[in-house]
Amino acid sequence: MPAENTGTVEVRRDDAVAVVALRRERKRNALSTHMESELLQALRSPEVASSRAVVVTGGDSVFSAGADVTELREMTPHAIAEYYRGSGSVYEVFASLPQPTVAAITGYCIGGGLELALAADIRVADPAAVFGFPEIGIGILPSSGGVTRMVRVAGAGRTRDLILRGRRFDASQAEQWGVVSEIAAPGEHIKHAIAIAREIAEYSPLAVRITKQVIDVSLDAPREAALLLEQLAYAVLNNAPEKD
């Protein structure tokens, strides 16, 4: 299937996998509101909707150097609330996709870029990847799921250390702290992420979708509720007429 290019975001199919690529390299894929809107459009495209798995990448040299904060600095509280209902919703739209998602990361994965990566189910890093939340240095905080997801991934203590100090960390540390699942060979992060997506795409879409939902809900559910949800989901899947 040919690629669909919306300007700063490109969508192409690799068999059952939709590959969504950020294409604002001259600005190190800084996530402007315009780019976020185009990413929303890409995530809602037929190429993504009909896929069995989704890979998000920034290309061969950078994932994303973060949100374009110059656009947001002058916004009123009302305008910021509208932003989160509009283009700023892209992080939650990505996180809530029914398909499994994989982020392929190299170079800068900073601020809003790291928030986008954290919204993926699985993250693969190139050895050259650099991570961090620099927001505290300009008097703000990660506000597109960064704090919420980093706490769940790395724990409260590590999150305090990284966010309150604005620390950067490398791929090895990211793997050690659970921020990424795997480190690919140099230059192979996209290929490796697609291979993972293809692997999951071979399984029953219904089983993958329900399992992903159970994992997400179990993060915050009481133990008894989480166990019951597992059992109910098993009963549904075990009797599903369609496994494909």
Across the chain, which has 244 residues, the per-10-residue mean pLDDT values are 73 97 94 96 97 98 88 86 96 98 98 98 98 95 96 97 98 98 98 98 96 95 96 92 62
Pick the closest to residue 69 from 136, 129, 128 (CA basis): 136
The predicted structure's pLDDT at residue 67: 84
The predicted structure's pLDDT at residue 7: 87
The CA distance from 171 to 152, in Å, is 18
The CA distance from 238 to 16, in Å, is 24
Cβ-based burial of 4 (10 A; exposed 0-12, middle 13-18, buried ≥19): middle
The predicted structure's pLDDT at residue 71: 78
The CA distance from 201 to 203, in Å, is 5
The predicted structure's pLDDT at residue 6: 62
The predicted structure's pLDDT at residue 3: 63
Write out the two tokens for 47. Answer: 């190429």
Name the pTM for this structure.
0.94
